[in-house]
Each structure stands twice: as structure tokens, then as C-alpha cells.
Amino acid sequence: MDMQVWRPRLMRGQWFSHLPVSLQDSLLAAARVRRLGPGQRLFQRGDPPCGLYAVLEGAVRIGAVSEQGKEALLSLVEPPHWFGEICLFDSLPRTHDAFGLGQCTLLHIPQTVLLALLNEQPAHWRHLALLMSQKLRMTFINLEQLSLMPAPARLAHRLLMIAEGYGELEEPRRVLQLPQEQLASMLSLSRQTTNQILKDLQGQGILNLGYGEIEILDAERLRALATI
């Protein structure tokens, strides 16, 4: 398959669309399509580095499982996000588990191929560093909110971040394919607390709740709640 067919979809993302065209072409030339079935594992904590990925269709669940079997969901990676860059810098094992959520199509650039490309063009390391710095910035924001913000504000802020693709999408989405238990896990809240907050927001006409999805009806009021 000609990887150029995926360029329009990747160009919807801020990171890829701002790369030099030569680097975009090099990444597409080196890429291969990888497909995951529902619940299929892409990699797990402790696996050796395997390269860089972009989500083209579906979503990837990033998280961890404790020795007691409790799962912590850190994020859902959706199109057109790229992920997996941390291991590119330190060559250390994967820090978390990654599973397909439903049918998932990925673009995969193997570690060795990408390192060879970066060795030939060292200036491109900066672009990969920008990709990682975006994730680090979001991590600090989430840690701050966990300590300082009340649960409704944290939930509102996370919904807006997901709708905006964590800064990747120019046009925010209105409908989020996001089951409540997954949202609760991302926010370190109980399922009951999350459901109570969501129902309250639905009663105010800010959200509409469906099966496995959340529709944002009034983004401005949701944004006002997120700044409390």
C-alpha cells in the first residue's frame, strides 16, 4: 500500500502538519501499516523499544495493571496522534501497556529505521523532542489538577482536552466515544462519582450522555467549569 494515502488524515494533526515536507515524506516512506483487533496487545511494560506509531483508525488504550490486577488507564490515543517516542530517546523498555480499543489501524515506523533516518538528519531530533514535550506538558497539567482542582473541574477540563485532541486537532469534536468507566479511570475517580458529575452536567444542558459516548452541547459553559 502507498503510505501517501494516509497523508491527508495525518495532516489533521498539529505535529505532523508542521513538520518539514522532507521529514513527512521520509516518515511515510519508512512506515508500515499495523492492524490490531479489539483488546489485542501492541506492546507491554518492559518490552524493548519497537518504534514510533500513529493512530489512523480506532484508538489505542495506554495504561498499566497492578500486581493485584487493577488497571490504570492513562490515556486513549486517537487519530491522528503519534506515540512511542520516549523509547526513541533513551532506548529503555516500554513504560506502559498498549492495547487496541476495538478495530485499530496504525502507522508503524520501526525503531532501527527511524534511528538511521535521524542519524542521517540530526536536525530532525528537535521535531521528535517537540512531540515528547507536548506529552510532558500535559502530564504536568494533569498532575497539578489532581492535587488542586475539584473533581467536576478536572472532569470538564479532561473532556475539553479529549475533544481538542490534546491540542492536536484544529476543529474540536462534539461527540466523544468514551465510556464512563474509562473516563473515571483516567481521572482517578470512582465510577459512581464520575456518573454523578456527568448526570449533573447533563441536567444543566452542558452534556448529553449516550451509550459509550458523551456529547458536548455547550463547550463554553464546560470551559467555564474547567477554570474553577
| Same domain as 72, residue 26 | yes
Out of 94, 113, 141, a domain closes at 141
| Same domain as 158, residue 67 | no
| Same domain as 184, residue 113 | no
Task: Convert the pLDDT of each residue in 63-110 to its tens digit.
Answer: 887 777 677 788 889 999 999 999 999 999 999 999 998 899 999 999
pTM: 0.85
Task: Convert the pLDDT of each residue in 19-76 to its tens digit.
Answer: 999 999 999 999 999 999 999 999 999 999 999 999 999 999 998 877 776 777 888 8
**Where does the pLDDT of residue 165 fall: very low under 50, low under 70, confident under 90, or very high at 90 and above?**
confident
CATH number for 86 = 2.60.120.10
**Where does the pLDDT of residue 118 fall: very low under 50, low under 70, confident under 90, or very high at 90 and above?**
very high
Instruction: Return the C-alpha cell found at 118.
Output: 535521524
Q: For residue 117, give every residue at least 6 positions away whose Cβ sits within 8 Å of its Cβ, in sequence order, or none.
A: 26, 27, 30, 124
Cα 130 from Cα 13, distance rounded (Å): 13
pLDDT at 111 over 80: yes
| Same domain as 154, residue 83 | no
| Same domain as 119, residue 40 | yes
Out of 141, 166, 193, a domain closes at 141
Cα 136 from Cα 14, distance rounded (Å): 16
User: Structurally, how many domains does the chain consist of?
Assistant: 2
Q: What is the pLDDT of residue 199?
A: 97
| Same domain as 217, residue 184 | yes
CA 146, chain centre distance (Å): 19
Cα 144 from Cα 69, distance rounded (Å): 27
**Where does the pLDDT of residue 156 fall: very low under 50, low under 70, confident under 90, or very high at 90 and above?**
very high
Half-sphere exposure for 219 (CA within 13 Å, toward CB)? 11
Out of 79, 113, 141, a domain closes at 141
The stretch 170-177 carries a mean pLDDT of 88
| Same domain as 129, residue 34 | yes
| Same domain as 125, residue 167 | no
Cα 108 from Cα 1, distance rounded (Å): 13
| Same domain as 162, residue 134 | no
Q: What is the pLDDT of residue 45?
A: 92
pLDDT at 135 over 80: yes
Indicate the average pLDDT of the chain: 92
* Containing structural domain, residue 192: 149-226
pLDDT at 143 over 70: yes
Q: What is the pLDDT of residue 228?
A: 67
